Amino acid sequence: MRIGVLTGGGDCPGLNAVIRAVVRKGVATYGHEFVGFRDGWRGPLEGQTKPLGIAEVRGILPRGGTILGSSRTNPFKIDGGVEKIKENLASLGVDALVAIGGEDTLGVATKLDELGVKVVGVPKTIDNDLNATDYTFGFDTAVNIAMEAIDRLHTTAESHHRTLVVEVMGRHAGWIALHAGLAGGANVILLPERQFDVEQVAQYVEKRFQHQYAPIVVVAEGAQPLDGQMVLHNQELDAFGHVRLGGIGQWLAEQLEAKTGKEARTVVLGHIQRGGTPTAFDRVLSTRFGLQAIDAVHEGDFGKMMALRGTDIVRVPLKEGTGELKTVPLERYTEAEVFFGS
């Protein structure tokens, strides 16, 4: 069997570990042949490929990013896109696809599966917002990067007696802000799941200063103030209809400085959360996802997404993973209620 592999959407640590696991087991155990599609769905759409064998995946386990490249290409927004993909797969002799990505990449995979393309999915996103899986790879690395940044910011905030607002990724789901904020000892954590009251956040900040400590506020990029809107970097939409977020941290810092009279600064972690080597947890999870994915392809179990349930790797229908985003269930975090700024 000849199998195509692609990575789409935002990159994250662990992508190469999945590719490595798929190829190594696919070649050594099953004798399959592989072809790498470059830059997400643009690869099969335009027939852009690269060799993908044991030699190509050697040594990539600890590497961040993806050796295949990525993009936010949506073939369903291109005239004749699906037909071009089917034609290219046929001309290249590709029997099945392993698509590694988040809600958008796997959303395309779900639609292609319904149209007869043989595909399995591997859930990737630092946001941890894909349904049907307890965790996605990349999330643990992103949280640890954000936590380390918060740890470092505590000391400089204390030294200068200022508020530090840390903006992390999270468009619709605040998993990174929640976990990094709790682990890093943040005083206020603001999530997309609940609008926040700036006045109350200012009160938390003032109370912290009264105890001779400098406050740390962690805010997800998609968080919104009461009666407010998401802060946008610009109004442009990508191929999946997403706007580019950015700026809530700076807006909040200006509000807090005006309301408290204390200096406030902003740190936007941005793509630092996506880069670098994956944690041990993400390396193991990525590898296990990859091994299960090639098993599914070999067995002809298409239209499935790999998922972590407890400590088990299971297969679930692609529709389950992409049908609805997994957001933070705030009712389960009542012990941290004071942190949420509401």
Q: Is 162 annotated as a binding residue?
A: yes
**What is the distance between the alpha carbons of residues 217 and 260, in angstroms, rounded to a whole number?**
14
Q: Is 87 annotated as a binding residue?
A: no
Question: CA dist 17 to 10, 36, 67, 277, 290, Å?
Answer: 16, 14, 10, 10, 8
Place of tokens 């042949």: 33
Q: Is 238 annotated as a binding residue?
A: no
Q: Is 321 annotated as a binding residue?
A: no
User: How many CB atoms within 10 Å of residue 299?
Assistant: 10
Question: CA dist 245 to 36, 126, 236, Å?
Answer: 31, 16, 10
Q: Is 154 annotated as a binding residue?
A: no
Residue 337 in tokens:
């209620």
Q: Is 265 annotated as a binding residue?
A: yes
151 among known catalytic residues: no
- Among 11, 127, 140, 295, the active-site one is 127
Q: Is 216 annotated as a binding residue?
A: no
Q: Is 58 annotated as a binding residue?
A: no
Residue 298 has, within 13 A of its CA and on its CB side, a CA count of: 18
Residue 247 in tokens:
């700026």
Q: Is 20 annotated as a binding residue?
A: no
Q: Is 152 annotated as a binding residue?
A: no
Q: Is 257 annotated as a binding residue?
A: no
Residue ranges for the binding site for substrate?
Answer: 125-127, 162, 169-171, 221, 265, 271-274
Residue ranges for the binding site for diphosphate?
Answer: 10
Q: Which residues are catalytic?
A: 127
Residue ranges for the binding site for Mg(2+)?
Answer: 103
Residue ranges for the binding site?
Answer: 10, 103, 125-127, 162, 169-171, 221, 265, 271-274
